[in-house]
A = this chain, B = another copy of it.
């Protein structure tokens, strides 16, 4: 048994997404990511390689808020965070606030495998990238026109969605947070969780963070235990949402503890976090998780979550809104 799930952020869904051809592009991006990871699992590769490959696809896709197409800081920079964790030995690597590393998830993995450390931030992380021979790119590589429009809209006081770049700012955003209980309605972040054929779990997460964020602001994505966590025999988790709430809840580890120590099912553990604990802290978002038997859970308390999953049982799903609208099952 092996399985993989990916996410591309959770939030309020812009109206145009539901009807337009833009939707097809998101479905395509998610499909490419989940299939890239799945192909590795199918060939007998590791869950660690699978989640890294899936996240890399989403980082390279300008539609998602990670790598190219990241949300911009208030000064107009892309500042990127990422983490990866290996459930087998619970090794972990993470980077935060990097500006020139094309694929932050690759740097996070180098930190895990080639350094004595778990978390490197800022210029020191980029120095390490150079020592490791990872290519650096100009910050302009990450900054798409849509994200610049979005930043300008946010700075005019409009509510914007990190979930998707939108050349017209927030126009067409339905169900934005001002009407709901959550302070922030939409968060982009990408991530992947996987179980490989040897029973090893892994998780990875990557993000550009919040539009119009302060320089140096770091959310839950690169925080082991908050946005990213994996432990063999328990679960692998990648979160997306209002990062501050997920940090305060120690969200991913909260799910793992609920499974390991309270013997909740993975589904119940995720549900409790997403529909009770996170809202109690004023937050919103979603989680993808996979357990040691290959069970996949994808849950969120927002209008939608970009997500896809595939398992060796023949199940494959790509979905955006609450209903699982694109699902195939084969015996």
Interface contact B123-A216, CB-CB below 8 Å:
yes
Using Cβ atoms and an 8 Å threshold, which residues of chain B touch A92? 247-248
From A124-132, A140-148, A316-324, the one touching the partner chain is A124-132
Interface contact B121-A97, CB-CB below 8 Å:
yes
Using Cβ atoms and an 8 Å threshold, which residues of chain B touch A249? 90
Interface contact A224-B224, CB-CB below 8 Å:
no
Q: Which of A235-282 contact B (CB under 8 A)?
A: 243-244, 247-250, 253-254, 257-258, 261-262, 281
| A115→B249 CA distance, assembly (Å) | 18
Using Cβ atoms and an 8 Å threshold, which residues of chain B touch A214? 115, 117, 120, 124, 127-128
Min CB gap A15→B, angstroms: 27
| A295→B253 CA distance, assembly (Å) | 25
Using Cβ atoms and an 8 Å threshold, which residues of chain B touch A120? 214, 216-218
Interface contact A124-B217, CB-CB below 8 Å:
yes
Given contacts A224-B223, A226-B225, A250-B229, contact A90 B121 (CB under 8 A): no
| A216→B281 CA distance, assembly (Å) | 30
| A91→B245 CA distance, assembly (Å) | 9
Interface residue from B122, B218, B219, B229 paired with A216 (Cβ < 8 Å):
B122
| A219→B225 CA distance, assembly (Å) | 14
**A153 contacts B by Cβ under 8 Å:** no
**A156 contacts B by Cβ under 8 Å:** no
Which of A120, A250, A281 has the largest number of chain B CB atoms within 10 A?
A: A250
Interface residue from B96, B125, B128, B248 paired with A91 (Cβ < 8 Å):
B248
| A122→B123 CA distance, assembly (Å) | 9
Min CB gap A91→B, angstroms: 7
Interface contact A118-B248, CB-CB below 8 Å:
yes
**A215 contacts B by Cβ under 8 Å:** yes
Using Cβ atoms and an 8 Å threshold, which residues of chain B touch A243? 118
Using Cβ atoms and an 8 Å threshold, which residues of chain B touch A57? none
| A125→B214 CA distance, assembly (Å) | 9
**A329 contacts B by Cβ under 8 Å:** no
Interface contact A247-B215, CB-CB below 8 Å:
no
**A13 contacts B by Cβ under 8 Å:** no
Residue of B nearest to A250 (CB): B225
Interface contact A116-B253, CB-CB below 8 Å:
no
| A25→B281 CA distance, assembly (Å) | 43
Question: Could you show 9 A-B contacts with beta carbons less than 8 Å apart?
Answer: A97-B121, A117-B214, A118-B244, A119-B219, A119-B223, A119-B247, A122-B215, A128-B214, A225-B250
